[in-house]
Amino acid sequence: MATVSAPSTVGEQAEPEFFTDDEHLIGGKQNLVTIGEKIGNVCLGEVPIPKGWWIMFLSGFTLLQALVLGLAWLFYMGVGVWGINSPVFWGVAIVNFVWWIGIGHAGTLISAILLLMHQKWRTSLNRFAESMTLFAVMCAGIFPLIHMGRPWLAYWLFPFPNNMAVWPQFRSPLCWDAFAVSTYFSVSLLFWYIGLIPDFAYLRDHAKNKIQQMVYGMLAMGWRGSAIHWRRYEKLYLILAGIGTPLVFSVHTIVSFDFAVSIVPLWHATIFPPFFVAGAIFAGFAMVIWLAVPIRHWYGMKDLITTTHLDVCAKIMLGTGLIVSYGYFSEVWMAFYGQSVYEWDTTLQRMFGPYGWSYWLLILTNTIIPQLCWMKKFRTNELLLCLVAGSVHIGMWFERYVIIVTLTRDHLPSSWGRYAPTLWDYAAMFGSLGLFLTLFALFMRFLPMLSITEMRELLPRSAGGRDGHAVMENAK
């Protein structure tokens, strides 16, 4: 197969080479059996564990100890061990919360929104992207809890009749947030598990030993692929995708309300919800790229996650990055055009004040560097693409950092202050990365990284599949 790549006259080649045919979504000679073996054998222990997996798992597990230590010290001493104090009470913990939950959103976007939009290329990404969502939401959920000061009273966020005769304050976005994040986690978990059931049935039927057979058998719950069951299953899957789509928008909108409903200058902005949602997808696709590359390399999945997939992810990252950049422009423009002295002065403080470096770093990493994705080389070369995605990770973290350090200088100069995170802030932050890496490494080893069922549907009819058309058409 000749790879035509020399002249970059985009208009001529891009059209026939991508999207129009399925051959670029599945490489090699695949059929129903090879798809199952390729993905399932990793879980069944038939594939030797790659070195990279050990590096990922052990480094993740080491970092996880930082989280354990950091939380133990935090619970013993209280939130004073962090750098938070007046006027910045929302420190790195909230930055990390928003960063992680944003990363999670790409998983739902890929599995739900792209399903509704008949995008066949979602198929090889949705399973690990959904897992990424779950683990990222777990990491995110830690931060508001430990930020409470008395995390053992976290259940007060939820309404239940109690002998203190008090109820939550339902007009507060922080209360909405508790509902949004817990619903998001629960629904993502259900969606993920329902998708896994037929794959568990495959693993049960092809288990290599008794333990695998029992564990996967219990998880498969006796699934036997009945046509009647499939019909209900597909309908459920479609509706979950249908309500998952507005759910993901609502969750990050509510996260942005945490800021936007306040009266802090530059926080109190109507641009926040769309700006946050676009940022979430931007960050999430960067993480999908970071996770897709090791899966391709360590487990030889290049036939199933092709260069076309990376290319498409990079384009979405570029597109959402432009929306985010428009958000940065809009913030400055509204401050200028709104004629509010506080808004405009805070903007100047943000750009040229003591934390101005973080603003320009944000513009560099989130707006300027992602523009490299206009070049095809940066979209299809794994190393270059990972570097751009890394820049987005840094940029999206700094976006929220810039937002919280806005608190250092607001309306009243006498209450201005400085904020610096301490070692224990970073212990929780990098520790949460350790939790994510550990969970994701275990997922790669024990659960099917790609959806076996949906990859089989994606196969052309000549190879036993359904041309990827089944999901939407069968759901009745």
Partner 1 sequence: MSAPTHTPETWGLLAEFDTADALIAATRRAREAGYTKMDGYSPYPIGEVADELGFPRSEIGAIMFTGGLVGATMGFLMLTWVSWVEYPLNIAGKPYFSWSMFIPITWELLVLTASVSGVVGLLALCGLPMPYHPLFNVPGFARATKDGFFLAIEAEDPRFSPTTTKDFLSGLADVKSVEEVPA
List residues near partner 1 by CB under 8 A.
Answer: 31-33, 36, 159, 165-173, 175-176, 179-180, 183, 186-187, 190-191, 194, 198, 201-202, 204-206, 217-218, 221-236, 239-240, 243-244, 246-247, 250, 254, 257, 453-454, 456-457, 464-466, 470-471, 473-474, 476
Residue the block writes with tokens 């995605």 = 389
Measured in whole angstroms, how far is the alpha carbon of residue 345 from the centre of its chain? 34
Angle at 289 between CA 288 and CA 294, to 5 degrees: 100
H or E stretch at 54: helix 51-77
Three-state SS for 88?
strand
Closest CA to 398 of 364, 368, 354: 364
Smallest distance from the beta carbon of 346 to partner 1, in angstroms?
Answer: 23
In the complex, the smallest distance separating the C-beta of residue 197 from partner 1, rounded to whole angstroms, is 8
| Nearest to partner 1 of 62, 186 (CB atom) | 186
Q: Tell me how far apart the alpha carbons of residues 142 and 75 are, in angstroms, rounded to a whole number.
A: 13
Question: Smallest gap, in angstroms, from Cβ of residue 295 to partner 1?
Answer: 22
Tokens 């809009």, residue located: 330
Closer to partner 1 by CB, 88 or 180: give it: 180
Q: Given the complex with partner 1, which of 181 and 310 has the nearer CB atom?
A: 181
Cβ nearer to partner 1, comparing 208 with 418: 208
Question: Please, which residue, 80 or 225, has the CB nearer to partner 1?
Answer: 225
User: DSSP secondary-structure letter at 122?
Assistant: G
User: DSSP character for 364?
Assistant: I
Return d(Cα 425, Cα 416) in angstroms, integer: 22
- Angle (CA) 367-370-274 rounded to 5° is 55
Q: Which SS3 state, helix, strand or coil, does residue 111 take?
A: helix
Q: Buried b / exposed e across 236-258, counting CB within 10 Å, b at 16+?
A: ebbebbeebbebbbbbbbbbbbb
- Choose between 158 and 374: whose C-beta lies nearer to partner 1: 158
CA–CA separation, 253 and 246 (whole Å):
10
Choose between 5 and 262: whose C-beta lies nearer to partner 1: 262
Quote the least distance from Cβ 472 to partner 1, whole Å. Answer: 10
Q: Is 85 helix (H, G, I), strand (E, B) or coil?
A: strand
Closest by alpha carbon to 453, among 15, 34, 36? Answer: 36
In this complex, which beta carbon is closest to partner 1, that of residue 69 or of residue 197? 197
Whether 188 and 105 have beta carbons less than 8 Å apart is answered as no
Report, in Å, the least distance between residue 268 CB and partner 1.
14
Question: Of 1 and 166, which CB lies nearer to partner 1 in the complex structure?
Answer: 166
Report which secondary-structure segment, H or E, holds 199: helix 173-205
Min dist. Cβ of residue 213 to partner 1 (A): 11
Closest distance of CB 159 from partner 1, Å: 6
Nearer to partner 1, 330 or 474 (CB): 474
Q: How far is the CB of 167 from partner 1 (least distance, A)?
A: 4
Given the complex with partner 1, which of 117 and 218 has the nearer CB atom?
218
Inter-helix orientation angle 272-298/51-77, to 10°: 140
Nearest approach in angstroms of CB 160 to partner 1 is: 11
Tokens coding 2: 């000749």
456-461 contacts at long range (C-beta below 8 A, 24 or more positions apart) = 456/32, 456/35, 456/36, 457/123, 458/22, 458/25, 458/26, 458/120, 458/123, 458/124, 459/26, 459/30, 459/31, 459/32, 459/35, 460/22
Shortest distance in whole angstroms from residue 296 CB to partner 1 = 24
Q: Please give the Cα distance from 121 to 140 (Å, whole number).
A: 28
Q: Residue 406, CB half-sphere, CA atoms under 13 Å: how many?
A: 26
Question: CB 361 → partner 1: shortest distance, Å?
Answer: 33
- In the complex, least distance from residue 264 CB atom to partner 1, rounded to whole angstroms: 15
Nearer to partner 1, 139 or 180 (CB): 180
